[in-house]
């Protein structure tokens, strides 16, 4: 049975409720070790793969994730579609904590990350079209699943990918908003572009964990983020169940 799709879990999602685990597979890649073994499982009669982006004990910070190894491992197992879950900060008014959003654009502010497969042993220089960074087919499927599950999903948005692991300053968030960003997170890049290089149908479900710096009068705390992710990730699980059905 082929893998229906893979889920890359972000902060707050290190396992999928209701997943009947078949086995866990350690995959070695030319780009080093992935964040952990790939979990193969069944849910609602369909086979999926799961990989925790930050490791199953959540110890890998966003700037140290081996994005190339993770995507290469999934591709090597025959995966063609990927749903990436990401915890983010909300910048614009509709991106309030606990809401889900299916972003359609990215602005990359990261640096120093291994961001391409096309660098060594090439017969020619290779470019990819990245005008629309997320797979339209998977975005449509996620939006339909959100409607089916009666979830309040924001259908689009621009994701600002920052370096981390620190959170941003209020001035940086003001700049991101001037740039047209709706959400801020630390893992969209180079994950999305690497998926495109491998020909994977890749889309993201962003879970708003907190208001970004300067968007609320209160200081951002890890307790706040954790509490919002409890609700947000419950919605993600409902979305994934609807997507699988």
Query: What is the per-residue pLDDT across 104-114, written as a single tens digit (0 to 9) for each?
Result: 999 999 999 99
Q: What pLDDT is stored for residue 120 in this prediction? A: 78
What are the b/e assignments for 62-91, b being 16+ CB within 10 Å?
Answer: beebbbbbbbbbbbeeebbbbbbbbbbbbb
Q: Of 43, 91, 238, give the one whose Cα is nearest residue 151.
A: 238
Q: Tell me the residue length of the chain.
A: 245
**Is 241 assigned to a binding site?**
no
**Is 187 assigned to a binding site?**
yes
Q: What pLDDT is stored for residue 141 in this prediction? A: 95
Asked whether residue 98 carries a pLDDT value surpassing 90, the answer given is yes
Q: What pLDDT is stored for residue 33 in this prediction? A: 95
pLDDT-derived band at 13 (thresholds 50, 70, 90) equals low
**Is 54 assigned to a binding site?**
yes
Q: What pLDDT is stored for residue 63 in this prediction? A: 96
More confident residue, 33 or 120: 33
Q: What pLDDT is stored for residue 10 in this prediction? A: 67
In the chain, % of residues over pLDDT 90: 70
Q: What pLDDT is stored for residue 17 in this prediction? A: 63
CATH architecture of the domain covering 5-117+131-244: 3-Layer(aba) Sandwich (3.40)
Asked whether residue 75 carries a pLDDT value surpassing 90, the answer given is yes
**Is 233 assigned to a binding site?**
no
SS (H, E, C) 156-174: CCEEEECCCCCCCCHHHHH
Asked if 168 and 162 count as a contact pair (C-beta separation under 8 A), the reply is yes
Asked whether residue 126 carries a pLDDT value surpassing 90, the answer given is no
**Is 228 assigned to a binding site?**
no
* Tens-digit pLDDT profile for residues 191-230: 999 999 999 999 999 999 999 999 987 788 888 888 998 8
More confident residue, 186 or 43: 186
Compute the half-sphere exposure of residue 120: CA atoms within 13 Å on the CB side of its CA: 4
**166 CB neighbour count, 10 Å cutoff:** 9
pLDDT-derived band at 11 (thresholds 50, 70, 90) equals low
Q: What pLDDT is stored for residue 20 in this prediction? A: 75
Query: What is the residue extent of each domain of the chain?
Result: 5-117+131-244
**Is 68 assigned to a binding site?**
no
Lowest average pLDDT, out of 12-16, 160-164, 228-232, goes to: 12-16
Asked whether residue 12 carries a pLDDT value surpassing 60, the answer given is no
Q: Of 164, 202, 192, 187, give the one whose Cα is nearest residue 55.
A: 187
Q: Of 150, 159, 141, give the one whose Cα is nearest residue 101.
A: 159
More confident residue, 15 or 139: 139
More confident residue, 216 or 177: 177
**215 CB neighbour count, 10 Å cutoff:** 20
């Amino acid at each position: 049975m082929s893998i229906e799709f893979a889920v890359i879990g972000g902060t707050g999602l290190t396992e999928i409720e209701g997943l009947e685990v078949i086995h866990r597979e350690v995959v070695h890649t030319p780009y080093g070790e992935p964040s952990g073994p790939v979990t193969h499982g069944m849910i609602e009669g369909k086979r999926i793969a799961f990989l925790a982006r930050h490791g199953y004990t959540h110890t890998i910070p966003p700037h140290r994730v081996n994005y190339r190894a993770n995507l290469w491992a999934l591709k090597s197992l025959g995966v063609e579609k990927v749903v990436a879950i990401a915890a983010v900060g909300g910048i614009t008014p509709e991106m309030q904590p606990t809401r889900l959003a299916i972003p359609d654009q990215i602005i990359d502010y990261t640096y120093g990350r291994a961001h391409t497969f096309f660098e060594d042993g090439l017969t020619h220089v290779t470019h990819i079209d990245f005008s629309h960074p997320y797979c339209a087919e998977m975005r449509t499927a996620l939006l339909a699943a959100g409607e089916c599950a009666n979830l309040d999903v924001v259908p689009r948005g621009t994701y600002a990918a920052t370096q981390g692991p620190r959170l941003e300053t209020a001035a940086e968030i003001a700049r991101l908003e001037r740039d047209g960003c709706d959400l801020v997170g630390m893992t969209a890049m180079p994950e999305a572009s690497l998926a495109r290089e491998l020909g994977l149908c890749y889309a993201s479900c962003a879970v708003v964990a907190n208001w970004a710096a300067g968007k609320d009068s209160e200081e951002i705390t890890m307790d706040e983020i954790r509490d919002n992710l409890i609700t947000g990730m419950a919605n993600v699980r409902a979305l994934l169940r609807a997507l699988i059905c």
